[in-house]
Structure 1
Amino acid sequence: MNRPLLVSDLDNTLIHSQKHRRPGDVCVEYRKGKEQGFTSPRALDLLREVIRTGRLVPVTTRSVEQYLRILWPDGVAPEYAVTTNGALLLWRGEIHPEWLGESQRAIAPYRAELERTLALATEQNRFVRCRMVDEMYVFAYCGPELDIREAAASFAGKTALTVIPSGRKLYFLPPSVSKGTALPRLKALLKADRVMSAGDSRIDLPMLALSERALVPPGGLAEELPAGVAEVAGEGEPFAEFVLRTALGWLGGEG
């Protein structure tokens, strides 16, 4: 059997925000009519080829609604996508009911804790917004005046959820569901025998650590992975282009 699979984070991995936009970048996402997400023309060409292999599964913390905003090349989206930090699987844009049921059972012991943590974060009145994402995890957005790591540390001992800062965002995640727990489920569903993964943040670590090859940007992320797993992008190449170029060769394509 030779069924490789590429699982990849989206934001700051395959696409990037207005903040990191470069001249010539192509818009691949709109929000309320405004340009939101971008990628380079080269990355878009590579993405088109990777999608054609049928072996790409995006794995993202985005909600279903946020994921569905993405404009895939030629209007052809990957057949499968995992959203909501591993909790939901989309098949041709629709929620997979068996996957949903399994995730709901895994999160059930943390349901009350999710509600309590959302209330706790909201009551602090120092976040721009707090919300429950697809009923699966809690999210808080911090303004520029707030130290994100100090904000994360302030929840130590106050919640049973895993608290991870990322950019201006705080994620409160049930330990029973993650990008890492999604990986063996995906391998079984798609009958994959080996996995390459790509990601840029600590939320991706559980997924990256379980892969045969893990593509990461320059920085300290590689040091948190098992020896011999990480492949680090070069300083001069955009991360999305590195990921897609490397993956295309690994999946049996060209480039």
Structure 2
Amino acid sequence: MTVPLIATDLDRTMIFSKAAMGPEQFGRLDLRCVEIHEDAPLSFMTADAVDLLDALAAAAPVVPVTTRTPKQYRRIALPGRPFRYAVVSSGGRIITDGADDKSWRAHIDSQLSGAGADLGTVVAELESRIDQAWVKKFRIADELFCYIVVRTERQPAGFLADWTGWCAERGWTVSQQGRKIYAQPATVTKSAALAEVRRRLIDDGTLAAAAPVLAAGDGLLDADLLEAADRGIRPAHGELHELDFQRDHVRVTETVGALAGEEILAWFHAAIPGESAA
């Protein structure tokens, strides 16, 4: 049995805000804060999940794979760190030994040249479709993609479908994850960046060529990661669950919220020779 490569999304898969896990879990679970933002605790894992991820990182190569920008990623104090590689900006950047991998970003920029609408066009169109009555924030991330933070109770019923259609015709992907709605170039994917990390780990002897890839994620921007993995797992909550994303090689957790994060980590452990989640 070969040690696998572990690739996992972070927000709503491994780490959870109070809103993401819900008041019932937040009030009764033994939680550990893993992110502080603006002097306030923002993201949490259960105490058992912290121990599981710490042990997992010691037993197998683990690659965090996230939509977060490098700055947002570095706010998280993940157990098991430092990680040799991390995929951030939804695959737009690779962090290698804590530093931005400029060669990968140059590769991404060359791919984007002439492929679909440019960022400025998408930003201008999005700005024309929103207003402050239901949008709290508008952000451009890493000069690569954009997102809005919305008041979901006021979000127009047809906005997401209309915006998704407009973007799809121009080579962009839209994903809503809780209060955030992302738009990013379809050519930028988490799976492509992870494939590059895997190639490097095989080339330097860290990973066996036959090693399987195990992946976890909850959002539409994780779908390609799960599709490309040898085996995957997703929580029974989030965007993919709402879309009823089903694949023969992708398991769905029995639990939700932060407990699903524990279940995912236990599933990863079960795939490692000599390891157990106990």
- Give your verdict on TM over 0.5: yes
Tell me, yes or no, if structure 1 residue 207 matches structure 2 residue 253.
Answer: no
- Write out aligned runs for 1:212-227 (5 A): 212-218=230-236, 221=241, 223-227=244-248
Provide Cα deviations, 1:73-120, integer angstroms capped at 9, x if missing partner: 37x322211000011111122111221111111222258521111122
Q: Of residues 116, 121, 126 in structure 2, which corresponds to 1:116?
A: 121
- Write out aligned runs for 1:19-98 (5 A): 19=19, 20=21, 21-23=26-28, 24-73=30-79, 76-98=81-103
Residues in 1 aligned to 2:2 and 2:194: alpha-carbon distance in whole angstroms: 17
Q: Which residue of 1 aligns with 2:191?
A: 180
Residues in 1 aligned to 2:92 and 2:138: alpha-carbon distance in whole angstroms: 19
Provide Cα deviations, 1:181-239, integer angstroms capped at 9, x if missing partner: 22322221222531000011222111001111111122664953432x01121237811
How far 1:153 sits from its partner (Å)?
Answer: 1.8
Q: Which residue of 2 aligns with 1:243?
A: 264
Aligned-residue CA RMSD (Å): 2.3
The answer (yes or no) to whether the contact 1:17–1:38 under 8 Å persists in 2 is yes
Task: Note the residue ranges of structure 1 that are not aligned, 5 or more in a row.
Answer: none
Distance 1:145 1:175, change over 3 A: same
| SS of the residue 2:57 aligns to | helix
Distance 1:64 1:102, change over 3 A: same
How high is the TM-score relative to the length of structure 2? 0.83
Q: Which residue of 2 aligns with 1:102?
A: 107
Tell me, yes or no, if structure 1 residue 163 matches structure 2 residue 174.
Answer: yes
The answer (yes or no) to whether the contact 1:107–1:136 under 8 Å persists in 2 is no
Counterpart of 1:16 in structure 2: which amino acid? Answer: F
Distance 1:248 1:111, change over 3 A: same
Task: Note the residue ranges of structure 2 that are not aligned, 5 or more in a row.
Answer: none
How high is the TM-score relative to the length of structure 1? 0.90
| SS of the residue 1:176 aligns to | coil
Aligned residues with identical type, % of pairs: 26
Provide Cα deviations, 1:152-203, integer angstroms capped at 9, x if missing partner: 2232553312122221111111011111322322221222531000011222
Residues in 2 aligned to 1:248 and 1:22: alpha-carbon distance in whole angstroms: 27
Distance 1:32 1:156, change over 3 A: closer
| Larger relative contact order (CA 8 Å, sep ≥ 6) | 2
The answer (yes or no) to whether the contact 1:197–1:211 under 8 Å persists in 2 is yes
Q: Which residue of 2 aligns with 1:13?
A: 13
Residues in 1 aligned to 2:142 and 2:38: alpha-carbon distance in whole angstroms: 20
Structure 1 window deviating more from structure 2 (78-87 vs 176-185): it is 176-185
Distance 1:148 1:116, change over 3 A: same
The answer (yes or no) to whether the contact 1:215–1:232 under 8 Å persists in 2 is yes
The answer (yes or no) to whether the contact 2:217–2:233 under 8 Å persists in 1 is yes
| SS of the residue 2:223 aligns to | helix
The answer (yes or no) to whether the contact 2:215–2:233 under 8 Å persists in 1 is yes
The answer (yes or no) to whether the contact 1:54–1:79 under 8 Å persists in 2 is no
The answer (yes or no) to whether the contact 2:85–2:197 under 8 Å persists in 1 is no
The answer (yes or no) to whether the contact 1:54–1:78 under 8 Å persists in 2 is no
Distance 1:108 1:209, change over 3 A: same
Structure 1 window deviating more from structure 2 (126-135 vs 211-220): it is 211-220
| SS of the residue 2:34 aligns to | strand
Residues in 1 aligned to 2:184 and 2:157: alpha-carbon distance in whole angstroms: 16
